[in-house]
Each structure stands twice: as C-alpha cells, then as structure tokens.
Structure 1
Amino acid sequence: MKRQQLTIWLCFAVLLSFAQSVDYNTKKGFVAKGYDVVAYFDNEAVEGENKFTATHDGVQFKFASEENLKTFESNPDKYVPQYGGYCAYAIAESSKKVDVDPETFEIRDGKLYLFYNSWFNNTLKSWKKNNVKGLQEKADQNWEVMN
C-alpha cells in the first residue's frame, strides 16, 4: 500500500513540474531564434553558432563564443528573455504569444525583452512611447496567467 501511495505521489509531482514549465518561443529550434542571449547585454544582436550551445529549462540556446556560453552557464536565469522570448508588447497589450524579430530588443532593469518588428509595426517603438513600467507590470501579470 505504501509503495502504491509513493508511486501516486511521484506521478503527481512529475505532472506538477510539467504544468509549471515555461512556454518558450523556440522558432528555429532555439530560444531567441538562435541569437546569443548574452550578447544582448552588450547591446549586440548576434547569431549564435552551432558549436556553442546549452540547454536550460528544457530548451536550447546558441552563443557566438565559448566565453558567452560559459557566462550563460554560470547564471542562466539572468539571460533568459522575459515572457519566454515572445513579444513583450503583445504579452502586455493583448496577452498573445507573438513571434519576435531577434534584432529588436531592449535591456531594461537588467532583463532582456524581445519584440515583433515587421510590416511597419515595430512594437519596441510602441513599448517605448507608452508607460513602459505600466506595460512591464501588465505583461508580468498577463504572463503569470498565461503560464
């Protein structure tokens, strides 16, 4: 009987851990479409290379150099884009998971935000024109409900 209860408890714990995992935008098989998430913090949008990859939280990241890979591995949560790498403005305004242009980004308050930018619609410009702090709070609330 104890063994059956333990099995049930373990199954519940596994299911709970899957239910809490973040939905990442992994277009092209990598977060940020394979762009180096560490390089963004140097204000650079740089594509990563296949020889420098890491897996974190069940998804893959690419890096432009071994140094950036090691930097990421030392503190991955610092470099993971907000809202799973979906467009921050769309999360805030409409609670929708919208793809991004990996070259349209902002580092704010030590966090990486990615944005949609296509067909004359650069959501980073809209983000900056509005109350950014309010949008961040709204996006944080919406993301919590979405995940």
Structure 2
Amino acid sequence: MSLVSPAAYADSPLFHAREGMALSGYDTVSYFNGGHPVPGRSDIAVMWKGAVWQFASQGNREAFEANPRAFAPQFGGYCAYAMSKGRLSSTDPEAWEIVAGKLYLVHSPQIQRLWQQDIAGNIAMAEQNWPDALFD
C-alpha cells in the first residue's frame, strides 16, 4: 500500500500515455459509439489529465469534453488484468472490453482471454490495487 494519500494524487496525470498519447492515439469515444476502436486524428485532439486524446470526429471530441470520465479507460488505461495482480503493464488498444458502461484495456489478446475467465473478480482486485500500484 502506498503512503501517498489519495488527495495527493487526485489531480495527477494517472493515464498511461505512450509518448504523451492516450490509447496510442485511438479515439476513446469510438469504443462506445462504434463498437470498435478507431484511430483518432491529430487535428482533432484535446489535452486532459496530462495526456493528448485524439478523436476520429469533432462530435466524439465534444462528447469527451462534455464528460471525459465517462469515456476514459479504467485504471488509467493500464492493463486491467495486470492491475488485478497489482502490477502496471501497457495495453493494446485492440484488446478491450466494455463492462457495465466502463472501458477496460488489456495488454494483448492472449491476456484478454485470461482476464475474461473472471472479469468481475479481476475488476474487483484491480480496483483494490488502483491507483496505489502507480506508486509502488
């Protein structure tokens, strides 16, 4: 467990962002309204929580800006399965699932199959480890 209080990192940039780009440049809104991830465009982007978020359309950008937490991936975009084990791992934007209206990303299609064996249990464990795993 981290000695850092939740208040100390409440507004810290907690999102996994390769080279500053959230979701490797994929449009986070597309997971919800298109049923599959779509690469975003560099000319339709916004900075939020220390990362650049790109979108495939102006409408998706506007939806995100109206309520970013509704579209942002859980556990800062780090692998949900690794987080269930108390570890950090990068993700593959093509390995994902929406559960109860929330976006979860995992490291790879192989890891996704492991995660899917106990989604509810893995989410519960990951929630216990987040965000303390960032500071371990």
TM-score bracket relative to the smaller structure: 0.7 to 0.9
Q: CA offset at residue 18 of structure 1?
A: 5.8
Other-structure match for 2:3: none
Q: CA offset at residue 63 of structure 1?
A: 0.4
Other-structure match for 1:57: 49
Instruction: Write out per-residue CA displacement over residues 95-140 of structure 1, whole angstroms, 9 at most, x where no aligned residue.
Output: 11101111111011100101111xxx611111112x2111111000
Aligned-partner residue type, residue 122 of structure 1: Q
Q: Does residue 69 of structure 1 match 2:57?
A: no
Q: From 110, 113, 120, give the equivalent of 1:133.
A: 120
Q: Are the counterparts in 2 of residues 28 and 34 from structure 1 also a CA contact under 8 Å? A: no
CA distance in 2: counterparts of 1:64 and 1:43, whole angstroms: 14
CA distance in 1: counterparts of 2:13 and 2:81, whole angstroms: 18
Q: Does residue 48 of structure 1 match 2:40?
A: yes
Q: Structure 1: which 5+ runs fail to align?
A: 1-15
Q: Are the counterparts in 2 of residues 89 and 123 from structure 1 also a CA contact under 8 Å? A: yes
Instruction: Write out per-residue CA displacement over residues 63-114 of structure 1, whole angstroms, 9 at most, x where no aligned residue.
Output: 0111111111111110111111010001002x11101111111011100101
The structure with the largest alpha-carbon Rg is 1
Helix, strand or coil at the partner of 1:91: helix
Instruction: With the length of structure 1 as denominator, give the TM-score of the two structures.
Output: 0.79
Following superposition of structure 1 onto structure 2, how do residues 1-147 of structure 1 map, counting pairs within 5 Å? 19-20=9-10, 21-41=12-32, 42-93=34-85, 95-117=86-108, 122-129=110-117, 131-147=118-134
Q: Structure 2: which 5+ runs fail to align?
A: 1-5
Distance 1:17 1:30, change over 3 A: farther
Instruction: With the length of structure 2 as denominator, give the TM-score of the two structures.
Output: 0.85
Higher helix share: 1
More relative contact order in 1 or in 2 (CA 8 Å, sep 6+)? 2
The percent identity for this pair of structures is: 35
Q: CA offset at residue 19 of structure 1?
A: 3.1
CA RMSD of the aligned region, Å? 1.7
Aligned-partner residue type, residue 91 of structure 1: M
CA distance in 1: counterparts of 2:116 and 2:124, whole angstroms: 14
Instruction: Write out per-residue CA displacement over residues 27-71 of structure 1, whole angstroms, 9 at most, x where no aligned residue.
Output: 142111110000011321111000110112232100011111111
CA distance in 1: counterparts of 2:52 and 2:7, whole angstroms: 19
Distance 1:52 1:17, change over 3 A: farther
Aligned-partner residue type, residue 137 of structure 1: A
CA distance in 2: counterparts of 1:52 and 1:37, whole angstroms: 13
Aligned-partner residue type, residue 9 of structure 2: A
